[in-house]
Amino acid sequence: MNFCPVCSSAEIAKKIPEDDNREREVCNSCGEIFYSNPNIVTGVLAYTDNDELILCKRLIEPRHGYWTLPAGFLENQESIEEGALRETEEEAKLRVSDVKLFTILSVPHIDQIYTFFTGKVVNYDFGPTPESSEVKLFKYDDIPWEELAFPTVIKTIKLFLERGDDKIINEVLRPKI
Residues engaged in binding Zn ion (CB under 5 A): 4, 6-7, 9, 27, 29-30, 32
Query: Which candidate, 102, 106, 131, places its Cα nearest to that of 118?
Result: 102
Q: Which residue, 9 or 48, is less far from Zn ion as judged by CB?
A: 9
What are the C-alpha distances in Å from 103 to residues 1, 145, 174, 176?
33, 19, 16, 20
Closer to Zn ion by CB, 6 or 16: give it: 6
- The nearest distance, CB 33 to Zn ion, in angstroms, is 10
Nearer to Zn ion, 28 or 39 (CB): 28
The region, left, alpha or beta by phi > 0 then psi within -120 to 50, assigned to residue 111 is left
CA gap 15, 21 in Å, rounded: 10
**Smallest distance from the beta carbon of 98 to Zn ion, in angstroms?**
49
Nearest approach, Cβ of residue 12 and Zn ion (Å) = 8
Residue 29 Cα distances to 12, 17, 21, 34, 116, angstroms = 8, 14, 21, 13, 42
Q: What's the CA angle centered on 142, arms 85 and 149, to 5 degrees? A: 50
Name the minimum Å distance from CB 37 to Zn ion. Answer: 20
- For Zn ion, the closer of residues 4 and 157 by Cβ is 4
